[in-house]
Amino acid sequence: MTNTTNQVRGNNPIAKIGVGLLQLPPSIYVVACLVAVSIAIVPILTKLPFQMVILRQAAPIGLVICAQLLVMRANSIDLSVGGVFILMNYLVTSTLLSGVPDFFALILTVIAAMLVGCVNGFFIAVLRASSVVVTLAMGAILVGVVLLLSSGRPPGSAGDFVRWLGVGKVGFFPIAAMIWISLALLLELFLRRSVYGRFVRVIGSNTNAAGLSGIPVAKTLFVTHVMAAGFAGLGGILLAGFIGMGSVKIGTDVVMTSIAGVILGGITFGRGRKSILGAILAAYALAYIFNLMTALKFDEPSKLIVQGLVIFAASIVASVNTRKRS
């Protein structure tokens, strides 16, 4: 009966289109709905200047979604990204690196984020500890360290170079969005063409089988967590540049946003093929939702409810699509 049904679908163009549409990342439908609502109610949001503002706001979100996407495709998770954001904000707004040239200070800051990934990767990949427990604890430790170093007060303001990265433009296009989209596309190419990318796909499909087939699971997971921390670190730097000021509360919602973005992008643990396109559109959609609700004068509780409903619906769609591909 199943084979007959599949044959009918295969010979039916409308059925093919329907199946193809269902396999698209949920973020595509969310973006389409947001644009339609904007055209009908708040058309000014569709204008180029406002679209560039949305892209600039989406850049830090987009990078942390890339970070979460990496680890989730390898059947892991990183709940320390919020702590990484707070650490990055402290490093680029305090006097700790004030004597270092801007570019090298930026490199050192990203290295600090990747060191966090090294610790996460060591415990998760080498010692085989729970990724939830390790990264949750790491996030709490990073927040505590920043609070201790800053005495609970915002440290200062971001330097000119970091501000330029966060709010600067090349023509009309935001530099932050250029960095985000370029790195996301490079990540897609790397995952598709490299041996590492193939390892991640196999590990995501079945970790035990990957180990039995000779794939270096521990090494791949370690590298994945280091790379994810690097992406999260860049996202934290761009957000610090966008805000321009130090904050000990920045990034409190980053963990939930990153997981939501991955789900909107059509990725579940170890599964999902439209990863980068879906992730880019998910970051754009999350920034768009915030701006649309602000324009419609939603209060904070209403914003949380709407965002939760969107994420809930996307998770259902992603789950259904996953079962159909299985």
The predicted model scores a pTM of 0.87
* Residue 1: band (very low, low, confident or very high) from pLDDT cuts 50, 70, 90: very low
Question: Nearest to residue 205, comparing CAs of 271, 267, 262, 265?
Answer: 271
CA dist., res. 311 & res. 133, Å (int): 24
pLDDT tens-digit map of 19-68 = 555 567 788 888 898 899 999 998 998 999 999 999 999 999 999 999 99
In a domain, 259, yes or no: yes
Please tell me the predicted confidence (pLDDT) of residue 26: 80
In a domain, 160, yes or no: yes
Mean pLDDT, residues 78-104? 89
How many structural domains comprise the chain?
1
Place of tokens 């990153």: 258
Distant-in-sequence, close-in-space partners of 213: CB < 8 Å, separation ≥ 6: 202
138: pLDDT strictly greater than 80: yes
In a domain, 205, yes or no: yes
pLDDT tens-digit map of 204-245 = 888 888 888 889 999 999 999 999 999 999 999 999 999 888
Q: What is the CATH number of the domain that holds 198?
A: 1.10.3470
How far apart, in Å, are the Cα atoms of 229 and each of 92, 224, 251?
A: 16, 9, 14
In a domain, 128, yes or no: yes
* Residue 247: band (very low, low, confident or very high) from pLDDT cuts 50, 70, 90: confident
Q: Which of 87-91, 170-174, 262-266 shows the lowest mean pLDDT across its residues? A: 262-266
SS3 content of the chain, % helix, strand, coil (to 5): 80, 0, 20
The parent domain of residue 117 ranges over 30-325
In a domain, 22, yes or no: no
pLDDT tens-digit map of 151-180 = 877 778 888 899 999 999 998 999 999 999
